[in-house]
Amino acid sequence: MAITIADRVNRIHESASGAAAQRVRDLRAQGVPIVSLTVGEPDFDTPDNIKRAAEEALAAGDTKYTPVNGTPELQQAILDRMRTRTGVSYTPSELAVGGGGKQVIFLALMASVQKGDEVIIPAPYWVSYPDMVLANNGTPVIVETNESDRFLLTPDALDQAITDNTAWLILNTPSNPTGAVYSRADLESLAEVLRRYPHVGVLTDEIYDELFYGEGQISALIEVAPDLRDRVVTVNGVSKTYAMTGWRIGWGIGPAELIGAMNKLQSQISSCTASVSQAAAVEALTGDQTFVHESRDVYRRRRDLAVDGFNSIPGLSCSTPEGAFYVYVNCSGVMGKTAPDGSAIDSDEALTMYLLNEAQVAVVHGAAYGLSPYFRISFATSEEIIEQALGSIRDALSKLR
């Protein structure tokens, strides 16, 4: 082949969760009845009022280019939501809109990270963070958290990880894969450390902020520490809250200089996001919110079912996630055991392959998220499927010796 693939591609990996989902699709195409707990995607359909808004936009001919950071209506809806939730006001010059939160995070890193820059990423982490840093010539600095600390980055661990080369800290709350949530007190403690290091920016990924199972609403870093405004970028979107993963609308709100650089990149990459999707997102943010509350209640019931089920299986345990729709299952109790065919269960990846083959249940191994031995399951699926998966996993693990 005459064309050479760039180093930025060769140093990153395929998304582990995406690969797991594709493996499920391939097996199902072969007729294998796989039960999948891999996909981080609501199983609900997009609410009808949002779909109607898209249909109306089509009928009205709203199918043209928009400003790079969204239509005026979408800008207003996003900024109003931010002000309502955090008490902090922003202008359109401080807003970037992209094809999902993932693209916005990539744009932020592309616009700011140079060779030698370090990005602190608490583990377990969403699988894409380290590879996005690597793709943009940065160095991921992985800081392992502990289940005893609720999988949260502690102030001491943050302080020890920061160097003169640190460009960013990435915080994900609620977390994928653990469902961990940083409380107001947690964020205040981290902010105290950050104030000592004015060269460190913070990228807060809050895509699951409406899927919070505690009292009230989740706290945001910019709400807790508005004095850090000039170095905090808050990322969010409509994908998880409104079951709109395929509509591809996400945004970032932060310092005007960085946002301007991100919008410049966006103008050269795709000009803007889809106009019809933007119209749908406006309705999602400003219309009837009944779906948000009802779906959260459903997720809470599924969460409790999954947590109780996994904690009842010998060799497995898990803490109760405070947000998102994942459970990070501790499988240390089955490490070192042997499968019926004589193969060793010596890693969480080996266990997930055993569960796929023996139980026909697909989960994602913890090493993909930077902390073992665990596996992640998504409870964005029906209670019947969760119960079926729990029964199959229990039976498969009972065969280990």
64-286: which CATH topology?
Answer: Aspartate Aminotransferase; domain 2 (3.40.640)
Count the helix, strand and coil residues of the chain and give each as a percent rounded to the nearest 5.
45, 15, 40
Q: What is the pLDDT of residue 18?
A: 74
Instruction: List every span in the chain annotated with CATH 3.40.640.10.
Output: 64-286
Instruction: List every span in the chain annotated with CATH 3.90.1150.10.
Output: 7-45+291-398
At 294, the pLDDT band (50, 70, 90 cuts) reads: very high
Give the span between the Cα atoms of 65 and 276, in whole angstroms.
10
Q: What is the CATH number of domain 7-45+291-398?
A: 3.90.1150.10
Within 146-231, strands assigned E span 166-172, 201-205
Burial 52-73 (b: 16+ CB within 10 A, else e): ebbeebeeeebeeebbbbbbeb
**pLDDT per residue as tens digits for the range 330-340:** 999 999 999 99
Containing H/E element for 261? helix 256-269
**pLDDT per residue as tens digits for the range 149-192:** 999 999 999 999 999 999 999 999 999 999 999 999 999 999 99
Q: Mark residue 236 as left, alpha or beta (left: phi above 0; alpha: psi -120 to 50; beta: remaining).
A: beta
Within 246-297, strands assigned E span 250-253
Q: In degrees to the nearest 10, what's the CA dihedral of 104, 107, 112, 116? A: 110
Q: Is it the case that residue 201 has pLDDT exceeding 90? A: yes
Structure tokens at 326: 């994942």
**pLDDT per residue as tens digits for the range 99-144:** 999 999 999 999 999 999 999 999 999 999 999 999 999 999 999 9
Structure tokens at 69: 């950071």
Q: What is the pLDDT of residue 52?
A: 98
DSSP for 112-149 reads: H--TT-EEEEEES--THHHHHHHHTT-EEEEEE--GGG
Note if the pTM is more than 0.85: yes
